[in-house]
């Protein structure tokens, strides 16, 4: 495809910074992360274990392919907002955020309000309290995205010579973050492209899944890519087909074979098996019964290849309007992925011209 390969790492080393932003209107202090193209003097440092950034999640050290507080490469770059799943955090998919930044994108995420604020009673005892918590979580999600976007466009998060192009803004989210990505264009007109990773929002969610609704009141074409999992237990394919059909835009869906809900995050095997074997109660018991062992499913490495390559190509085609990326996305994706050992189902392509 004219040398275009969205699956390989890009030409930029990747830097990462943490900053805190206070939303005075809601009295919330958000930890935020931004990944960005770094100066060439950091070349190789982002992929070397000796110089990679280390952070801690639940007392466990993690590394990712970025250099802490690296000098940013001067230039003007598209922006992609990353929205994390419920109960997770802004670093849930560093494999994806760093891949995009290595190709010349600024990528940013925050810990959503349900992580940083008490959005319900400390002890949920009644159905009314549970419903109120759900409502508060859902009501905070899109305002969180809009707040982060304003912070990035209004304040000097990176060097003065490094700018975000306000005409090239996309959003990618997973699970409840996928719902967030699909809900945000209702009110945030600066969003020009969406990638929804196994999103919530179907009209008939399984018991135990947040009853999030989507209106799709976009009023314009926001090209949307759905990347979903064949064996997703909490958010099954039937709901993905429904959301795809309702999406009022240029759209495409690719299904990763032998994959479950955790295949869009870091540490796939660890997360999947942790959920499958941990003590659970209530609705999660049935989820656990239906969850297949990771040995029967796609590897995390191939899932990451699938997610990062197709997300990048969609953003290249829609935000940057790259002809080679457009040809790639409208071509034989199944064969392209099969050549890399990734088995997919490509849902019929519509209106991609």
pTM of the model: 0.95
Contact 313, 306 (CB under 8 A): no
Residue ranges per structural domain of the chain: 14-252
Q: Which residues pair with 83 in a beta bridge?
A: 173
- Buried b or exposed e, range 202-226, using 16+ CB within 10 angstroms: beebeeebbebebebebeeebbbbb
Tell me the pLDDT of the chain (353 aa) as tens digits. Answer: 458 999 999 999 999 999 999 999 999 999 999 999 999 999 999 999 999 999 998 888 999 999 999 999 999 999 999 999 998 999 999 999 999 999 999 999 999 999 998 775 555 667 787 788 889 899 999 999 999 999 999 988 998 899 999 999 999 999 999 999 999 999 999 999 999 999 999 999 999 899 999 999 999 999 999 999 999 999 999 999 999 999 999 999 999 999 999 999 999 999 999 999 999 999 999 999 999 999 999 999 999 999 999 999 999 999 999 999 999 999 999 999 999 999 999 997 555 44
List the CATH code of the domain at 14-252. Answer: 3.40.50.1820
Q: State how far the Cα of 213 lies from the Cα of 337, in Å rounded to an integer.
A: 32
Q: Nearest 5°: CA angle at 293, between 287 and 295?
A: 155
């Amino acid at each position: 495809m004219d040398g275009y390969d969205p699956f390989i790492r890009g030409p930029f080393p990747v830097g990462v910074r943490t900053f805190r932003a206070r939303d005075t209107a809601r009295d919330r202090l958000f930890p935020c992360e931004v990944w960005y193209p770094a100066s060439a003097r950091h070349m190789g440092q982002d992929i070397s274990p000796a110089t990679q950034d280390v952070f801690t999640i639940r007392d466990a050290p993690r590394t990712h392919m970025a250099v802490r507080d690296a000098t940013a490469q001067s230039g003007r770059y598209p922006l992609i907002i990353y929205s994390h799943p419920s109960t997770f955090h802004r670093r849930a998919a560093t494999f994806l955020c760093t891949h995009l930044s290595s190709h010349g994108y600024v990528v940013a995420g925050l810990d959503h309000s349900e992580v940083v604020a008490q959005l319900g009673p400390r002890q949920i005892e009644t159905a009314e309290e549970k419903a109120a918590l759900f409502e508060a979580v859902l009501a905070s999600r899109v305002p969180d995205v809009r707040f982060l976007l304003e912070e990035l466009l209004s304040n000097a998060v990176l060097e003065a010579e490094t700018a975000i192009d306000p005409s090239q803004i996309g959003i990618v989210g997973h699970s409840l973050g996928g719902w967030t990505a699909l809900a945000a264009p209702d009110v945030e007109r600066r969003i020009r492209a969406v990638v929804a990773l196994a999103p919530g929002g179907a009209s008939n969610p399984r018991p135990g899944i947040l009853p999030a609704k989507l209106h799709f009141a976009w009023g314009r074409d926001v090209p949307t890519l759905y990347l979903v999992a064949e064996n997703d237990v909490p958010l099954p394919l039937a709901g993905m087909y429904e959301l795809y059909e309702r999406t009022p835009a240029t759209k495409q869906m690719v299904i990763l074979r032998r994959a479950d809900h955790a295949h869009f995050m870091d540490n796939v095997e660890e997360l999947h098996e942790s959920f499958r074997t941990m003590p659970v109660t209530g609705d999660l018991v049935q989820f656990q019964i239906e969850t297949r062992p990771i040995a029967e499913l796609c590897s995390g490495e191939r899932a990451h290849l699938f997610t990062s390559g197709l997300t990048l190509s969609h953003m290249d085609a829609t935000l940057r309007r790259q002809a080679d990326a457009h040809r790639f996305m409208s071509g034989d994706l199944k064969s392209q992925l099969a050549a890399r050992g990734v088995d997919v189902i490509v849902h019929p392509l519509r209106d991609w011209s």
